[in-house]
Amino acid sequence: MSKKLRKIKTKKSKKKVVLIVLIVLLVVGALGFLGYTYIFKDNKKKVNIRVVDSIDKYGYSISDKDSKYYKDEFAKLKEILKKKNVDEKEYSTMVARLFVIDLYTMSTKINKYDVGGREYFYNTRVDMYDLKVMDTIYNTMNDNTYGDRKQELPEITKVKTESVKESTYRFIEDAEVNNETNVKGCRDGFEISKNNNSKCVKDVDKVYVVELTMEYKKDLDYDTEASVVVAKEENSNRWSVVEYKPELGAFSE
Model pTM score: 0.81
- Residue 253 has a pLDDT of 67
Which residues, 6+ apart, have CB-to-CB distance to 144 below 8 Å? 47, 109, 110, 111
Axis crossing angle, helix 88-104 with helix 68-82, rounded to the nearest 10: 160
pLDDT digits 0-9 by tens, 171-203: 998 888 777 777 778 888 898 887 767 789 999
pLDDT digits 0-9 by tens, 94-136: 999 999 999 999 999 999 999 999 999 999 999 999 999 999 9
Backbone dihedral region of 235: left (phi > 0), alpha (psi from -120 to 50 degrees) or beta?
Answer: left
3-state helix, strand, coil in the chain (%, to 5): 35, 25, 40
pLDDT for 89 beyond 80:
yes
Residues in the chain: 253
- Residue 23 has a pLDDT of 78
Which residues, 6+ apart, have CB-to-CB distance to 74 below 8 Å? 53, 60, 62, 66, 98
pLDDT for 37 beyond 80:
no
pLDDT digits 0-9 by tens, 151-160: 999 999 999 9
**In terms of pLDDT, which residue wins out, 135 or 9?**
135
- Residue 190 has a pLDDT of 92
pLDDT for 1 beyond 70:
no
Sorting pLDDT into bands at 50, 70 and 90, what band is 230? very high
pLDDT for 44 beyond 90:
no
CB-hemisphere CA count at 13 Å for 205?
Answer: 0
Which residues, 6+ apart, have CB-to-CB distance to 23 below 8 Å? none
pLDDT for 39 beyond 70:
no
Angstrom distances, CA of residue 128 to CA of 122, 132, 186:
10, 6, 19
| Burial class, 25, CB count within 10 angstroms (exposed 0-12 / middle 13-18 / buried 19+) | exposed
